[in-house]
Structure 1
Amino acid sequence: MIAKDPEPNSLRYTPMKYSGSLDHLSYVEVTPIIGREYSTAKITDILHAPNAEEQLRDLAVIVSERGVVFFRENQDDLSVDDLKRFTDLVAKLSGRPEENGLHVHPLYRDPGNIPMGNGETDENIYVINSEAAKKLYKTMKGRESTVGKSLEREWHSDGTFEVCPSDFSCLLMEETPSHGGDTLWCSGYEIYDRISPPMRSFLDTLTATCAQPVFKSACTAGNYAVMSPRGSPLNVGDTFAPSHPVVRTNRQTGWKSIFAGAGLHVSRINDVYDYEDNMIREYIMRLITHNHDCVARMHWTKGAAAIWNNSCVWHAATPDTHLVPGAIRTGIRASSIGEQPFLDPASKSRREALGTVDLRPAI
């Protein structure tokens, strides 16, 4: 995708169009609103196809329109380098800033950052492991709260604590129990469309601070330096408190999505009173949790993979595997770093752009 010179009422980026190169793959749409699942496709076949770049670019279009794509077949031939290359190319071919690359986790140097299943570590790979997370984030405020547990705090968009957050993330599940540990994704496009036009216009004007002080506190407690830069020349230092638009434009589709309005990394809505800040974030979270038709759910199987676009979806893991005796749930994730989030005044909501109408009010 190429950024074009802005014209009156024109989008900053030309929306991507699907060319049909993946039509040979069988799939099902997970819900009418979000998600697609390829039942037998292998990521390595796409990477090694004669028209690999065309297929990867088309996949970027599908992921950006559907929010998340699941690969159900066991991707047992997908190496760590393949996972990194796949994630990197999907993002690069969708118009990511040329100077950006894969994210480097801030706490890569932490002793609690366990190795991958092959015994190795990689600064561009984040290992999904609940026990490791407890060690990495033991300094996170509120982890020992006595308030009744709410899974609302699980919802987040990857890398929102960075000046340039993640665009595409891809997770390969290496081991998973027979039940439990599902991941959910929610469409920020659809949540935006379920808000009244006057309220949408107001939210369009807002930004939010996405502070995540746990990274600095973990480095201080562990006496090691935070990783820097992290996938972009702009992702440096240990402040981890950028401001992002509450509503952003997805560069691949040109559609508006709620972005920094709710979730784990969003610490406050800027320039409003405290009560208004809480009210806005609670309202958006209510829309997420009360509209389950906006959600796609992945029951993981060994070797399955998912790739999603963080600029238009939130995701949340289900922390219930401790209820499954002997449960092991580990995976590896690579994330690309996209542009600084922006709201293009010429962009529209998904339903407006597609000419579709849903007359049901948000609940």
Structure 2
Amino acid sequence: MPSATSPPEWHRQPLQYSGSLDHLDYTEYSPIIGREYHTAKIKDILHAKNAEQQIKDLAITISERGVVFFRAPQDDLTIEEQKHFTDLLGKLSGRPEENGLHVHPLFRDENNIPMARTGRLTSTCMSSKFYVLNTEAHKKLFKSIPKNHSTEPKDLAREWHSDCLFEPCPADFSFLLMEETPKHGGDTLFCSGYELYDRISPSFRSYLETLTATCHQPAFKNASTAGGYEIMSPRGSPLNIGDDFAPSHPLVRTHPVTGWKTLCVVVGIHVSRINDVYDYEDKMIRDYMIRLITWNHDCIARMHWTKYSAAIWNNACVFHAATPDTQLVPGSVRIGVRTTSIGEKPYLDPNSKSRRESLGMPLI
């Protein structure tokens, strides 16, 4: 079983913000998580004279705040620019040099074709390195997943997750630009893994730091088998190959940009099993992790989407959940384009500290 406390040889010191974004108007979403830039245009950052410094500082800011919202319409940003910007966030913040943007495993599925018919896309920029969020196309793409015919209310706790945990090297930065939004509904919630870690008792935190979890996601292989096509490979990293989709990751990891400890693989559809514990203990731990989220709503930032607004988050330190309520809005359409950078293999440095410890804040 992989160790939960094995920093890589290339482990680096936390990055420091230089101040290159201080000219932008923003509001901290809450004391714990999130920032909203009110008027900033991502295209201006990308093409600034000091673009690399600004993008690096933005990557640091996102890593510290968990998620950053851009409220001004970003409709002037092309898909190619969105891809390039996402790639630079990971590259300039120190991810492994051989990594890049994630390639969706099911890109060869025929149901990906209608997913790429959105306002900013043309046939010349179709690519495996972005993912279009479209509710109806998503149903077709994952039609092989067994349907839940329960008459009970849906357990929305399953919506919480981090991107690409089914890969040996999961996502670092995800960039979602929403092109079509319903009149209301369809919000996305983000929860701080840093703060949840700090709200666990020190003795229990120490135990969680010894554990790993298997992130088995059979839906991709099932879909490719049913559709008769090959899984895409590699997918943003030389380590993300094949069709097993069952890596083990530490429950607690060290964030490579900030150096802070954060909860990692504790909730969501990608987490299938906590390793080396009995069944009841597995359920007990995961139920407690969900309870932490519901107990601590001050750890949550909620993005109400407006047309062409954007959110960029760091999957190493936040969980997110889409609110599945758009079916309640007649004629609702929710289409967004997501690009995702692939980071390093998660690790825990036993010498790293929590966010509150590093910032000299009280633990309670």
- Whether 1:47 aligns to 2:34 is no
Q: Distance in 2 between matches of 1:310 and 1:327?
A: 28
Partner of 1:100: 99
Q: Go from structure 1 to structure 2 and tell me whether the alpha carbon gap of 1:340 and 1:145 turns closer, same or farther (over 3 Å shift).
A: farther
Task: Provide the TM-score with structure 2 as the length reference.
Answer: 0.94
Share of identical aligned residues, percent? 67
Contact 2:357–2:363 (8 Å) recurs in 1: no
Deviations 1:204-258 (A, max 9, x none): 0000000100000000011110000000000000000000000011000000110
Q: Go from structure 1 to structure 2 and tell me whether the alpha carbon gap of 1:349 and 1:174 turns closer, same or farther (over 3 Å shift).
A: same
Could you tell me which amino acid in structure 1 is paired with residue 52 of structure 2? E
The 5 A counterparts of 1:80-99 are 80-99=79-98
Q: Give how far 1:142 is off.
A: 5.2
Q: Distance in 2 between matches of 1:16 and 1:189?
A: 17
Q: Go from structure 1 to structure 2 and tell me whether the alpha carbon gap of 1:171 and 1:75 turns closer, same or farther (over 3 Å shift).
A: same
Contact 1:12–1:344 (8 Å) recurs in 2: no
| Aligned counterpart for 2:343 among listed residues 335, 338, 342 | 338
Q: Give how far 1:177 is off.
A: 1.3
| Aligned counterpart for 1:228 among listed residues 226, 233, 236 | 233
Partner of 1:153: 158
Partner of 2:272: 267
Contact 1:116–1:332 (8 Å) recurs in 2: no
Question: Which residues of structure 1 form unaligned runs of 5+?
Answer: 1-5
Q: Give how far 1:116 is off.
A: 3.6
Q: Distance in 2 between matches of 1:288 and 1:106?
A: 30
Q: Distance in 1 between matches of 2:67 and 2:148?
A: 29
Could you tell me which amino acid in structure 2 is paired with residue 136 of structure 1? L
Q: Give how far 1:348 is off.
A: 0.7
Partner of 2:4: none
Task: Provide the TM-score with structure 1 as the length reference.
Answer: 0.94
| Aligned counterpart for 2:311 among listed residues 286, 306, 309 | 306
| Aligned counterpart for 1:183 among listed residues 165, 170, 188 | 188
Deviations 1:251-299 (A, max 9, x none): 0000011001111200010000000000001100110122110000000
- Whether 1:206 aligns to 2:207 is no
Q: Give how far 1:123 is off.
A: 0.2
Secondary structure (helix, strand or coil) at the match of 2:284 reads helix
Partner of 1:193: 198
Partner of 1:74: 73
Could you tell me which amino acid in structure 2 is paired with residue 203 of structure 1? L
Partner of 1:3: none
Q: Distance in 2 between matches of 1:143 and 1:252?
A: 39
Secondary structure (helix, strand or coil) at the match of 1:103 reads coil
Q: Distance in 2 between matches of 1:264 and 1:23?
A: 38
Partner of 1:318: 323
Secondary structure (helix, strand or coil) at the match of 2:353 reads coil
Q: Distance in 2 between matches of 1:141 and 1:249?
A: 35
